Amino acid sequence: MSIHSPTHRRRTTALLGGALAGILAVFGTPAPVSAANTLSMRGADVSSLQRSLDLGARYYDAGGVARDPLDILRSVGVNYVRLRVWNNPASGYNNKSRVLAQARVARAKGLKVLIDFHYSDTWADPGKQYKPAAWVGHSLSQLRADVYAFTYDVCASLRGQGTPPDSVQIGNEINVGMLWNEGKVVNNDFAPLAGLLKQGYQATKDCGSGIPVMIHTANADSNANARWFYDGIRSQGVQWDITALSYYCVWHGTLANLYNNIVDLRGRYGKPVVIAETAYPFTRDNADSEPNAIGDATCDGISATWSGQAQEFDWVQNTARNAGAIGVFYWEPTWYAVRGNGWDPADINGTGNQWDNMAVFDWSGRVNPNVRWTP
């Protein structure tokens, strides 16, 4: 996810369609869940959290009591955190050393850790996959070696401090590749990307043979695009353990479409599916001068309110669960409006937060009392 991505902003809400009422009747309402159909990965991407805490942010539970935000999230069902890794970001956050520290804190609280490799110094998403500055000018062969070395180094460092990753994500929303232009899929040629993904996979397995590897796209909206991508990498011999998707309803369409895509991908590739990112606004208002990534757009007939945010998240979880997915991660629930924790790592003090209406904590740091992560 990149909250300032022009690709995301151009996504249409037309897929929300005229048959929505019938769709919600099938997929939106809570339903009994069998033991065999459980969300075992109930996650929160808290990559921005350390910066907020360093700036003095306070977090409050539903009763108004100040508590550690990870403890609050655990109390409402979270059992996994997702941490993005940038190579050498200008902000000094989300780099290797910060991620090591965050992983120690999370594991000490009994939370599992998913490491999200962007292979960039900044945001990577469907609209941009910038190489780290240190890798600019490297050949494809060099980039394969870079991916292996960086992946193994971060993973081994986590293992060395007693917090080996519980899962690893090779690339972030790589709909048409990563490490552009060398790793971009052009004219249906997946070979360059495949070589990079194989190195990330092998580095992870060399670090810990039992660590599951995710490959993540934002293709929840299009089964055709998802098949094109995952068929393409499979045809090149790429291995992965979990198929990961982003799903934001205002960009990725109906819950019925999400359901059908999960079912198809599970059957087609024989691998578990995880929603690695989702979120919904609790207000249309904006806390700062930075335009919100999602402003007036809502979907499924659900209002941008605390109760609406909780309802949409419930429906996404229900849809994923009923389709047989094994996990859902909320993207940046703790990134509320804290001055100095801006979206641009090159100007973190001078930019605002485009996600301040999407967090599950309001602008004073109080948690939405209705939001729950449920098995």
182 is catalytic: no
Domain 41-331, CATH homologous superfamily name and number: Glycosidases (3.20.20.80)
Which residue among 182, 277, 290, 312 is the active-site one? 277
The pLDDT tens digits of the residues spanning 280-298 come to 999 988 898 888 888 888 8
Contact 24, 301 (CB under 8 A): yes
- Count of residues making up the chain: 375
pLDDT digits (tens, 9 = 90+) for 71-86: 999 999 999 999 999 9
Q: What is the pLDDT of residue 289?
A: 83
Looking at residue 83, what is its pLDDT?
A: 98
What pLDDT score was predicted for residue 2? 57
State the alpha helices, DSSP H only, in the chain: 6-9, 20-27, 49-54, 69-75, 96-108, 140-160, 191-207, 223-235, 249-252, 255-269, 306-322
Pairing of the two strands 213-217 and 124-125 = unpaired
The two three-digit tokens of residue 165, written as one number: 């990753």
The whole-number pLDDT of residue 1 equals: 66
The whole-number pLDDT of residue 37 equals 79
Positions of the chain with pLDDT lower than 70, given as ranges:
1-36
